[in-house]
Amino acid sequence: MVSRATFAFDNNAILMESGIKHSWQFFRARLEAFVWIAALLLLGFMSPTDAHASLCPIHASGLGFCPGCGLGHSISWLFRGEFVHSFNAHPLGIAAVVILVWRIIAIFKKPVFYY
């Protein structure tokens, strides 16, 4: 015969395992949103006046124009409220932030199916 204490312990272990499983499923379903949030926060804390190392292959090859260069600086200026500097750094910086915020909201509105 199973005692009540053993049953309560097993029930709590099952609930705890279920809670961890649900937390992991929630995190996994929202991983893209967490990556975009982290990227926006990093760009927000970046100093837009400092030179930085670039991973851009077009910039590394020595070509003059790259359509993506300046986007990070533009977002950084935008988080500081400097809209003119943001637009001068890259005209699509404001649009990029709007699109990313829209995507983050869409991901969090999507239901999570727990299995």
pLDDT in tens, the chain (115 residues): 555 545 445 555 555 567 788 888 888 888 999 999 999 999 888 888 877 666 778 777 877 777 888 888 899 999 999 999 999 989 999 999 999 999 999 999 988 776 6
pLDDT computed for residue 37 by the predictor: 95
Domain-located, residue 91: yes
The whole-angstrom separation of Cα 58 and Cα 69 is: 9
Domain-located, residue 45: yes
Count of domains forming the chain: 1
| 8 Å CB contact between 46 and 79 | no
The whole-angstrom separation of Cα 52 and Cα 42 is: 13
Domain-located, residue 65: yes
Domain-located, residue 99: yes
pLDDT computed for residue 49 by the predictor: 82
Give the pTM. 0.72
Owning domain of residue 60: 30-109
